[in-house]
Amino acid sequence: MDPVDRTARFPVGAVVTLEDLTGDMHPCLARLRTAEPVSWLPAIGGWLVTGRDPALAVLRDADSFTVDDPRFSTARVVGPSMLSTDGADHARHRAPFAGAFRHAVVMDGFGDWTAIEARRLLAGHLAIGRCDLRAVLAAPLAVGVIARALNLGEADPDRVLGWYRAIVAGVEGVNAGREVGDGTRRAVADLRRTVDRTVRDSAGSLLAEVAEGGSLTADELFSNTAVLMFGAIETSEGMTANALAHLLGDAAQLEAVAADRSLVANAVEESLRMEPAATLVDRYATRAVELAGASISVGDLVSVSLAGANRDPTVFADPDRFDSGRPNLNLQLAFVRGPHTCLGLHLARLQTIAAVEAVLDLVPDARLRDDFQPARGLVFRKPATVPVTWNPAMEATVSTVRSPA
């Protein structure tokens, strides 16, 4: 089917713009999900999947829908990695890192540290009565956690953020048809030197152990380190910022969660359902496939809208309502499914829960300011700021706040 025929066959998708998918995208996704759960969108030059069932089918079928394609931009910036390979090669890239991100290992190595660090980051602002929780808490916590996980301790947070921003700029440039810029190349080279130094000088660290295992080349060790760092900062910062915004912007839900702390984890999961930090994941068709009424051709781009799937009303009742008591949150797809399920999901959940609990403990009367602007973004979604205020006279006692070891 040529593009003209596809446009005629999928009239709802034909008129969707990039702004429809970047700003308040949920009304647009609802229209697509109802009429064309798999739709051809000229705006993205590919298919957009918004229904949960077809989304799950794509994510689980790496034989038919692959990431291993020259158009996959991250590989062009840092090289092939677990993010851009499938099959046996993907397993070879992922396996050496998997053990370090198991739930028990994460809780043992990061549970106390992350809780203390979240409180430390917030404590310096208590007497002020206002702050931007994304800048003060979400971003530095994400940087600190992944720097600790990868043993990049010699690099200060600004340097780690510099690497991250340069990789983001490089990926965005490639997506826009540009070559990788000099600034990105310099940052990648600096990160590479730090990774090599960690492998050489930090015996027992995750990177040193992966290197000793011998299943990855030095280049592959670096590329996987880079995508772990990039993914951890981008999605964990967004996940935390979105969760804080959802909770502090809903007085009834905030009151319920504050009264019953067992709901904190559910509130974080509900925020993931409502607004995944990474909302689009791209695959490329390796064969002709019929999917929910769409005839997909070999080589077609197939973008899965995790945000669309997560508000499918056939799965989630009243899907546009934030409900920390929702019973079936295990069905949300924010961490993807199939072979590319997020490796760091336990670490991401841990730090977002720690951030929420720090806010509830230290500034229990914090509320979103009226000038808050909701999340935006085509692929990665988070608010530009999470501005909050509280009464400094009511600040919690923080004598237990200490720097994590």
Q: In what order do the strands lie in the sheet with 65-66?
A: 38-41, 46-49, 301-305, 280-285, 65-66
The residue that leads in pLDDT, 189 or 401, is 189
Enumerate residues 6+ apart whose C-beta is below 8 A from 122: 131, 136, 137, 358, 359, 362, 363
Question: How many other CB atoms sit within 10 Å of the CB of residue 387?
Answer: 20
Cα angle for residues 366, 231, 39 (degrees, 5° grid):
95
DSSP secondary structure string for all residues of 326-378: -TTGGG--TT--GGG--TTHHHHHHHHHHHHHHHHHH-TT-EE-TT----B-S
Domain ranges of the chain: 3-394
Per the CB < 8 A criterion, the answer to whether 301 and 44 are in contact is yes
Q: Are 134 and 237 in contact (CB under 8 A)?
A: yes
Of 275, 250, 247, the C-alpha closest to 261 is: 247
The residue that leads in pLDDT, 217 or 76, is 217
Region class of 338: left (phi > 0), else alpha (psi between -120 and 50), else beta: left
Contacts of 102 (CB under 8 A, 6+ apart): 346
**CB 214 within 8 Å of CB 253:** no
Q: How far apart are CA 112 and CA 354, in angstroms?
A: 9
Residue 224 has pLDDT above 80, yes or no: yes
Per residue in 145-154, pLDDT (tens digit) is 999 999 886 6
Do 171 and 57 contact (CB within 8 A), yes or no?
no
Answer for the pair 143, 233: CB distance below 8 angstroms, yes or no.
Answer: yes
- Candidates 81, 65, 62; CA nearest to 73 is 81
The Cα–Cα gap between 281 and 124 comes to: 37
pLDDT at 404: 56
pLDDT tens across 90-139, in order?
Answer: 999 999 999 999 999 999 999 999 999 999 999 999 999 999 999 999 99
Asked if 33 contacts 312 with a C-beta cutoff of 8 angstroms, the reply is: yes
**Both tokens assigned to 184:** 């990105």
Mean pLDDT highest for which of 141-155, 190-204, 247-261, 383-397?
Answer: 247-261
Residues with Cβ within 8 Å of 335's Cβ and at least 6 positions away in sequence, in order, are 272, 341, 342, 345, 348
Q: What is the CATH number of domain 3-394?
A: 1.10.630.10
- The closest of 79, 56, 378, 61 to 230, measured between CA atoms, is 79
- Strand-pair category, 289-291 with 294-296: antiparallel
When pLDDT is averaged across residues 250-258 and rounded to a whole number, the result is: 96
Supply the pLDDT for residue 137: 97
What are the residues whose beta carbons fall under 8 Å from the beta carbon of 341, sequence distance 6 or more? 335
What size, in residues, is the chain? 405
pLDDT band for position 3 (cuts 50, 70, 90)? low
- Please list, in sequence order, all residues whose beta carbon lies within 8 angstroms of the beta carbon of residue 161, skipping any fewer than 6 positions away: 139, 143, 233
